Amino acid sequence: MDRSDILVAKIGGSTLGAHDTTLEDIVALQRRGVRPVVVHGGGPLISEWLKAHGVPSRFERGLRVTDARTLDVVVAVLAGLVNKRLVAALTAGGGRAVGLSGADGGLFKARVLDGKLGYVGEVAEVDARLLLDLMEDGLVPVVAPIAVEWRGEAPTKQLLNINADTAAGAVAVALAARWLVFLTDVPGIRGEDGETVTALSSARAGALTEAGVIEGGMIPKVEACLKASAAGCRSVIADGRKTGALLEAIEDRTGTMVG
């Protein structure tokens, strides 16, 4: 199957619910023959729900420490509320979408990232066949970053919370996607002078990270872009709040191209 028309779009939790055109862009691209896959976050809404349930939020190295109580909320918000809102919005806009998580159909095989973080995982393998089959049927897969823990060659019953940025990168690599676009709440990557750069090499990304210019939640985005770029994917970080941002990003007219 030709995969040159596959686009992986990562929608950040900070832009969900914003008045942008991202979902309209996805429907428009699908009508043009592009095959989009959406991977989404939902961090701010998770924090709201945790607070409402009296569960404190704690982060280490930009990752949410996830104990059993936190995991219940993470799964409910990501695989439930956020995922289905996105599917409903895409459908209302004239698209055909199906919501799933990395736990469905063995999509993600994951392992625990660090015991200190609790039930936080990293994707060890993506089974691209499920996504390809859905796209072949004319559907937009909308993927929540939840996975099943695998130990060796066998799955367990344990669910894991996956960083959505790294999940999006892993999906793009597994699909041999043409584009990987991170839609966030900044215009792109800023250089030492504070100005947005149009292109970022691996070497400069490392230097900016070392200098603390690239920090926090931007680090996993850049790392995911570099991995996808090394696999032949055009990787862009762009401002998802901007009208037509996704359309412009795949035409290299906005954001920062990484790699």
Supply the CATH number for residue 111's domain: 3.40.1160.10
Q: Which of 12, 43, 95, 102 is catalytic?
A: 43
The pLDDT assigned to 55 comes to 94
In a domain, 28, yes or no: yes
Q: Which of 10, 109, 121, 188 is catalytic?
A: 10
In a domain, 188, yes or no: yes
pLDDT band, very low/low/confident/very high, at 3 (cuts 50, 70, 90):
confident
Judge whether 116 counts as a catalytic residue: no
pLDDT band, very low/low/confident/very high, at 93 (cuts 50, 70, 90):
very high
The pLDDT assigned to 16 comes to 60
Judge whether 165 counts as a catalytic residue: yes
Mapped onto helix, strand or coil, the DSSP state of residue 239 is: strand
- What is the tens place of the pLDDT at every residue in 25-73? 999 999 999 999 999 999 999 999 999 999 999 988 778 999 999 999 9
- For the whole model, what pTM was predicted? 0.93
**Dihedral Cα 79, 81, 87, 90, nearest 10 deg:** -140
115 pLDDT higher than 60: yes
2 pLDDT higher than 70: no
230 pLDDT higher than 70: yes
Judge whether 193 counts as a catalytic residue: no
Question: Cβ-count burial of 77 within 10 angstroms (0-12 exposed, 13-18 middle, 19+ buried)?
Answer: buried
- Two tokens, residue 95: 């698209």
In a domain, 224, yes or no: yes
The pLDDT assigned to 210 comes to 85
Q: Which are the contacts of 146, defined by CB distance < 8 A and separation ≥ 6?
A: 74, 75, 78, 79, 101, 102, 103, 159, 160, 161, 162
Task: Compute the mean pLDDT over every residue in the chain, rounded to the nearest whole number.
Answer: 92
131 pLDDT higher than 60: yes
Q: Which of 13, 102, 121, 259 is catalytic?
A: 13
Angle at which helix 202-210 crosses helix 218-230, to 10 degrees, equals 160
Average pLDDT over residues 149-162: 95
- Judge whether 45 and 140 are in contact, CB under 8 Å: no
CA distance 212 to 219: 10
Q: Which of 41, 42, 102, 221 is catalytic?
A: 221
- What is the tens place of the pLDDT at every residue in 188-210? 999 888 889 989 898 998 899 88
253 pLDDT higher than 90: no
The pLDDT assigned to 107 comes to 97
In a domain, 211, yes or no: yes
Q: Which of 65-69, 111-115, 129-133, 205-209 has the lowest mean pLDDT?
A: 205-209
| Domain total in the chain | 1
Q: Which of 136-150, 161-175, 245-259 has the lowest mean pLDDT?
A: 245-259
pLDDT band, very low/low/confident/very high, at 111 (cuts 50, 70, 90):
very high
Judge whether 84 counts as a catalytic residue: no
pLDDT band, very low/low/confident/very high, at 18 (cuts 50, 70, 90):
low
- Looking at per-residue confidence, does 67 or 242 come out higher? 67
Average pLDDT over residues 117-136: 96
258 pLDDT higher than 70: yes
Q: Which of 20, 25, 104, 165 is catalytic?
A: 165
Judge whether 13 counts as a catalytic residue: yes
In a domain, 1, yes or no: no
The dihedrals phi and psi of 228, each to the nearest 5 degrees, come to: -65, -40
- 149 is in which domain, residue-wise? 6-258
CA distance 168 to 171: 5
Taking Cα atoms as reference points, which of 68, 85, 80, 83 lies closest to residue 159? 68
Average pLDDT over residues 126-135: 96
